[in-house]
């Protein structure tokens, strides 16, 4: 009588590896406002207890994800070296922040709160300030103040615009129209801010009294 041999039993295989890069990817996919240990662990295919071995708390998890979001943000570089082009650049910078906030709801506190900013985020901001100062031939302090002023108000205003636009109850068509209307007002407001900041920073000692001075 012929016998057939069964295939060898397959091992259970290695558990999925948990790296900070994979954690960040999973968190970004979920969105900062929706992050939970259970949700990120499920996306990674591991238990939430296994995830706890790599990240100590929910706030640490959000910080890790926020840092990676900011690290991946491509801040626009200088458009040239003509000081007259600084207005155009700040407009582009503002639009970049607006798009960044819209794409990553919940990221604003990690940009505005000093205690929430990691060393990597601080260095990214300072490196950008040095780049703009050199590119447009302006003092480091002026570049620092201009960029910080535009960034502070742009992050805060954009976060408000998109938080309000996402609130219920409103049908999708109305939400889109309302958001578009608020975006127009946002752009006008940022233009007024940029014009005023440029004029103020061109004066003697301009920007020195700012209450939201960058790190």
Q: What is the CATH number of the domain that holds 44?
A: 1.10.10
> What is the residue range of 26's domain?
20-69
Shared-domain flag, residues 83 and 153 = yes
- What confidence tier does 25 reach under pLDDT thresholds 50, 70, 90? very high
* pLDDT over 60 (residue 15): no
Decide which of 52, 69, 86 is a domain's last residue: 69
Quickly state the pLDDT bin for 156 (edges 50, 70, 90): very high
CA distance 70 to 74: 9
- Tell me if 2 is assigned to some domain: no
pLDDT tens string 101-132:
999 999 999 888 866 677 888 888 999 999 99
- Give the pLDDT of residue 179: 84
d(CA 82, CA 135): 8
Interval 55-91: pLDDT, tens: 999 999 999 999 999 999 999 999 887 778 999 999 9
- Mean pLDDT over 20-41 rounds to 94
Grouping H, G, I as helix, E, B as strand and the rest as coil, residue 169 is coil
Does residue 213 carry a pLDDT above 70? no
On whether both 46 and 118 belong to a single domain, the answer is no
Residue 160 and residue 81 in one domain: yes
Structure pTM? 0.80
Residue 147: predicted pLDDT? 96
Residues 130, 135, 138, 144, CA torsion sign: negative
Domain boundary among 6, 41, 69: 69
Evaluate whether 150 touches 112 at the Cβ level (below 8 Å). Answer: no
Question: What residue has token string 């690290």?
Answer: 71
Mean pLDDT of 178-190: 91
Residue 86 lies in a domain: yes
Model pLDDT, residue 171: 60
pLDDT of residue 152: 94
């Amino acid at each position: 009588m012929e016998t057939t041999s069964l295939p060898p039993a397959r091992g259970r295989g290695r558990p999925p590896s948990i790296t900070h890069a994979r954690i960040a990817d999973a968190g970004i996919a979920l969105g900062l406002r929706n992050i939970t240990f259970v949700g990120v662990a499920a996306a990674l295919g591991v238990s939430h207890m296994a995830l706890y071995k790599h990240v100590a708390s929910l706030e640490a998890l959000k910080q890790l994800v926020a840092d990676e979001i900011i690290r991946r943000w491509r801040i626009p570089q200088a458009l040239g070296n003509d000081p007259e082009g600084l207005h155009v650049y700040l407009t582009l910078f503002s639009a970049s922040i607006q798009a960044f906030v819209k794409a990553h709801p919940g990221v604003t506190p990690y940009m505005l709160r000093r205690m929430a900013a990691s060393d990597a985020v601080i260095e990214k901001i300072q490196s950008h300030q040095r780049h703009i100062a050199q590119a447009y031939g302006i003092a480091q302090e002026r570049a620092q103040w201009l960029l910080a002023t535009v960034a502070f108000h742009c992050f805060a205003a954009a976060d408000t615009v998109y938080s309000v636009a996402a609130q219920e109850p409103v049908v999708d068509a109305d939400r889109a129209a309302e958001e578009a209307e608020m975006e127009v007002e946002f752009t006008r407001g940022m233009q007024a801010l940029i014009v005023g900041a440029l004029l103020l920073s061109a004066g003697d000692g301009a920007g020195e009294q700012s209450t939201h001075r960058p790190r």
